[in-house]
Amino acid sequence: MALQNGNGEHYSSDHILHSQAHIWNHIFSFVNSMSLKCAIQLEIPDIIHNHGSPMTLSELVKALPISSEKAQFVYRLMRILVHSGFFTIKSISKTENGEKEGYFLTNASRLLLKQEPLSMRPFLLAMLDPVLIEPYHFLGTWFKSDDINPFDTAHGTTLWEYAGHEQKLNQFFNDAMASDAALVTNVILRNCPHVFEGLNSIVDVGGGSGTLAKGIAKAFPSVNCINFDLAHVVDGLKGSSNLVNVGGDMFKGIPKADAVLMKWILHDWNDEECMRILKRCKEAIPSKKNGGKLIIIDMVVNHAEGDYKFLETQLFWDIHMMVHVKGKERSEKEWAKLFVDAGFSEYKITPVLGLRSLIELYP
């Protein structure tokens, strides 16, 4: 049977129902992230991991810190988490009543374990904190206003100012960035150690608690490393024989070194602000002939090819930047224009970080 819309166009029932399902899927897509957050708050990945073997539903329910009235709902929570790829369920034995099944961790849920060195748990809790979720409810209002971004519309201030006054969010944010830096450090040092070879010194701009700089300093004892961030961020941090922590403002000046490193910094800022940062970076390093370069770790949005989910996640990040700061995720064409306008001569993009790339930029 064909259905007719207000313009006299005919659609099949299947077409209408498929469209309805598509809309529903987007309406309720937040269920995935909130269910995952719930699992982390209940420490389900850690409970299954510490059990030491596949865990049955009854064993999991018994181990969870929940009231007996809520036990009946655990299966439904686990069902959506299995469907979304965070756990898997397999037969572990056969009984008179059928097969006995148990829950296993997947690669994704292993990255959410508390004791996992590369754990993304702090990142998940930070990004799904109500303070960062609330601005999305003001997206439409922001478009009609003169506010800087939806975060400003929701909270009356910028993210950076808010975090400066709210210790909980500031700690969440710092922990999130440190956990991401640990993962990036592991991948970069394993797959691209040549990027740091031949350098005598490097400064990590916006390095936070110094996770990335520490990793480089340990892997390359002959390289003098500087972890550079705002004074209140680096105050009290400990250095080493080839690592120092320096406070300052990247918009005013950057410590001189053979190379400047910026992980996930430029996507926080608009083109005009990025231009100012890039020019400061150029002032801090020697010429290409004398070994100078800028190392950028950031996303390069590619609409032409690649994994659909990768592109979708990059586009999610672009909206996330629009909602919380003044930045954006850039295509290679957009990056190239920034580099040329800032006075750099050439660049090289190496896609070795999944959604992000390593960009080497030369003066």
> Residue 349: pLDDT above 80?
yes
Task: Retrieve residue 42's tokens.
Answer: 């209940």
pLDDT bracket for residue 1 (50, 70, 90): very low
- State whether the Cα torsion 219-223-227-228 is positive or negative: negative
pLDDT tens string 161-196: 998 888 888 888 888 888 888 889 999 999 999 999
Set out the domains of the chain in order of their start, with CATH numbers.
Answer: 26-111 (1.10.10.10), 120-362 (3.40.50.150)
For the question of residue 267 being annotated catalytic, the response is yes
Among 21, 10, 31, which residue's Cα sits nearest to residue 83?
Answer: 31
Among 60, 38, 61, which residue's Cα sits nearest to residue 50?
Answer: 60
What global pTM score does this model have? 0.88
Coil/strand/helix, residue 262: strand
Q: What would the mean pLDDT of 328-332 be, rounded to a whole number?
A: 96
Query: Among 267, 303, 320, 324, which one carries the catalytic annotation?
Result: 267
For the chain, the distance separating the N- and C-terminal CA atoms, rounded to the nearest angstrom, is: 65
Please return the burial class of 154, using the count of CB atoms within 10 Å of its CB with bins 0-12, 13-18 and 19+.
buried
